[in-house]
Amino acid sequence: MVDCVNKKMIIDVLFIGFLGLTSVLSQVPPFTEKCESGLYPPDSNWSIPTYVVNLDLPGEERWTEVMKDRGPQIRHLLSMFKQFIRDFGNRTEKIIKFVDTNGEKMVSTLPYADEMRGIANATGLPLGEVVFYNVFYELFTFCTSIVAQDSSGKLFHARNLDFGLFLGWDVKTDSWTITEALRHTIVNIDFRRNNKTVFKSVHFAGYLGVLTGVKPGVFTLTMNERFNIDGGFMGVIEWILGDHSGQWMGFLTRQTLENSHSFEEAKKNLTNTKMLAPAYFILGGTKPGEGCVITRARESAVDVWCMNSSMWYILETNYDHWQKPLFLDDRRTPAHKCMNTLTQKKVSVAGIFDVLSSKPVLNKLTTYTALMQVDSGHLETWIQACEEPCFPW
């Protein structure tokens, strides 16, 4: 698989986005964090459509309707990303050529290969680009996830999905170009078998893994990236170079939502399955106190942090909960501040939406806010945008 590409070239491309960091830091505005209130519901123009994916169909046919509606946005997004890579010189063209001509070799190593082939057929994209599209969501993801319990013990699970750090800062519009393009691809998916919902999830159309999902009446699940030398970029490189022993994060979450039938079964699966990269899995159940953050290394969990009798919520961004967050990216402190301002008595879809709409929990990388309630199987998703002044992340 790697006869036309070498490890150094892959590393060069994976890290090219970091070159714009100094420029972006100069854009960081001063402001005092404010806990928002009364923002729910947003204008209906920011709502997300829901599609049904029938798991009884052959994989090649499952995403036809979604691709019919969202194929142009996916093609546009990939063309932007390819141009972003090309801007760093002729050497990177070899990566693009490799991806375009080795799709079948790459897809054969991944779950949902038939679904990827179906997406390629429906959009006219090279199969290699569909594979690449499904891989790069393992990187550049900043998130905030919350599981909260109201005064009656009812559990809510919500998250902001922040994506696109270092992927094309536009100095004219003070925005991330890839983040802006991603907002046009967001969809809710109702996965059904025998005409019954198996689970619901939020997707960037064309991405087959799951970052946000609910199995009605059983559990809720979100995934946040964990920045650690043990995995991440290096895990992707190892996969390209032929080591396929670990599971992709987003594919593991989808398989968990599809195949696990209890909170404890899901927790065990997310704790012990070998992975390609470290991650945080935020898991919510149906009973009071069933909320956990599973901090993963590649081999297994290094920590499972669960709600106890003195806790009414649990919150995770992108840093180990026992460590201080990076000073340039402290979304944790204002998120805690706003949750405590909300209070347990006001925990609801509306209340948590306000918390996740408070800066810098809401920032220029935020693509969407998702709100879930496990008992009813409720999932709603809203496109987010951050008005100035706003942190780049």
The residue annotated as part of the active site, out of 35, 143, 386, 390, is 143
149's tokens: 């319990």
- Residue 143 annotated as catalytic: yes
85/356 Cα distance (integer angstroms) = 32
Distances from the Cα of 23 to the Cαs of 31, 176, 326, 352, 368, in angstroms? 19, 12, 19, 33, 25
Would you list the DSSP string of 241-255? TT---SBPHHHHHHH
H-only helix segments in 204-348: 233-240, 249-259, 263-272, 332-342
380's tokens: 């709603």
Strand intervals (E) in 333-376 = 366-373
Residue among 34, 43, 40, 45 nearest 354 (CA): 40
Q: What angle do CA 80, 365, 103 make, to 5 degrees?
A: 40
111/189 Cα distance (integer angstroms) = 18
Helix (H) or strand (E) holding 213: strand 212-215
- The answer to whether 225 and 233 have CB atoms below 8 angstroms apart is no
Amino acid in position 197: T
Residue among 281, 282, 257, 271 nearest 377 (CA): 257
Active-site residue set:
143
